[in-house]
Structure 1
Amino acid sequence: MPNHEARTRTSGRRRSEDAHQEVLQGVLEMLEEQGYGAITIEGVAARTGVAKSTIYRWWSSKGDLVMEAYGRAIRQRMPVPDRGSVEADLTAFVADLYRIARHPARMSALRGLMAEAQVDATFAESFRAWVGERQQVVTDLLQRGVDRGELPTDADLRHAVDLVFGPFWYRLLVGHAPLRAADAPGHVRTVLAGLRQRPPGPAPATVRGGAAR
Structure 2
Amino acid sequence: MTSDDQQRVRAVGRGPKVRAAVHAATLAELVDKGYAALTVDNVAQRAGVHKTTVYRRWEDRESLVVDALTEHVAADIPVPDTGAIDTDLRELAAALVRWLTSPAGQAVLAAMFSDAARLPEIAEARTRVLDDRLRRAEPVISRAVERGDLPAETDPHELLKALAAPIYFRLLVHAEPVDDATAEHAAELALAAAHAGVLRRR
- Whole-Å Cα distance in 1 between the matches of residues 105 and 33 of structure 2? 11
Q: Please say which of residues 88-97 and 150-159 is displaced more in the overlay.
A: 150-159
**1:120 corresponds to:** 119
**2:32 corresponds to:** 33
**1:16 corresponds to:** 14
Matches within 5 A, 1:4-153: 15-17=13-15, 18-153=17-152
Coordinate RMSD, CA, aligned: 2.3
Contact 2:36 2:119 in 1 (8 A): no
Contact 1:35 1:112 in 2 (8 A): yes
Matches within 5 A, 1:129-208: 129-198=128-197
Relative to the length of structure 1, the TM-score reads: 0.78
Output one character per residue of 1:149-202: Cα deviation in whole Å (capped at 9) or x when no partner. Answer: 011112244432221121222223224322112332222122111211257xxx
Contact 1:111 1:173 in 2 (8 A): no
AA partner of residue 120 (structure 1): L
Q: Secondary structure at the match of 2:14?
A: helix
- Whole-Å Cα distance in 2 between the matches of residues 113 and 93 of structure 1? 21
Contact 1:33 1:105 in 2 (8 A): no
Q: Please say which of residues 37-46 and 80-89 is displaced more in the overlay.
A: 37-46
Contact 2:151 2:195 in 1 (8 A): yes
Identity of aligned residues (%): 29
Structure 1 moving runs of 4+ over 6 Å? none
Deviation at 1:117, TM superposition (A): 4.1
Contact 1:86 1:150 in 2 (8 A): yes
Deviation at 1:101, TM superposition (A): 4.7
- Whole-Å Cα distance in 1 between the matches of residues 106 and 146 of structure 2? 34
- Whole-Å Cα distance in 2 between the matches of residues 122 and 176 of structure 1? 25
AA partner of residue 14 (structure 2): S
Contact 2:74 2:133 in 1 (8 A): no
Deviation at 1:84, TM superposition (A): 0.9
Unaligned runs of 5+ in 1: 1-11, 200-213
